[in-house]
């Protein structure tokens, strides 16, 4: 009779150990799943932050370009009024070297007296109009 009791006890111990092992494995899987979820959530937050940063950088860049364009136009207009870099720098409170770099991308504004003065056509233009 001892053998039957030993076999029953052995099965009982084996079942308990297997239950503990399954619980340990389930706990481990739950920790892994929670870790994966945390990483994926963090990656999503990082991606969203990157998108917001990119949009902000793009808006900042466009704003800077627009202000630089306006500054270029203003300096070009001053040059059209025949003001030199030193005078423009003094008026704007800027460094003369910075002023020298501005306004070069735009053609000088024509002065009103120059705009109303008719220009003579070049000889090539005159030949074309004569041949037409």
Summarize pLDDT for 32-80 with one digit per residue, the tens.
999 999 999 999 999 999 999 999 999 999 999 999 999 999 999 999 9
pTM for the whole structure: 0.49
Whether the Cβ atoms of residue 89 and residue 96 lie closer than 8 Å to each other: yes
Cβ partners under 8 Å of residue 106, min gap 6: 72, 73, 76
Token look-up 């092992």 returns 21
What is the C-alpha to C-alpha distance for residues 27 and 88, in angstroms, rounded to an integer?
A: 74
- Residue 87 reports pLDDT greater than 60: yes
Residue-level pLDDT at 2? 58
Give the lowest-confidence range in 74-78, 97-101, 113-117. Answer: 113-117
Q: Smallest Cα–Cα separation from 100: which of 69, 80, 81, 75?
A: 75
């Amino acid at each position: 009779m001892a053998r039957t009791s030993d076999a029953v006890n052995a099965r009982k111990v084996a079942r308990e150990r297997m239950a503990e092992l399954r619980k340990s494995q389930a706990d481990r899987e739950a920790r892994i799943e929670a870790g994966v979820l945390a990483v994926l959530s963090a990656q999503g937050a990082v991606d969203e932050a990157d998108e917001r940063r990119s949009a902000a950088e793009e808006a900042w860049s466009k704003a800077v370009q627009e202000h630089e364009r306006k500054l270029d136009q203003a300096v070009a207009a001053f040059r059209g009024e025949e003001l030199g870099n030193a005078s423009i720098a003094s008026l704007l409170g800027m460094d003369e070297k910075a002023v020298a770099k501005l306004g070069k991308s735009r053609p000088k504004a024509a002065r009103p007296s120059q705009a109303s003065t008719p220009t003579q056509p070049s000889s090539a233009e005159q030949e074309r109009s004569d041949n037409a």
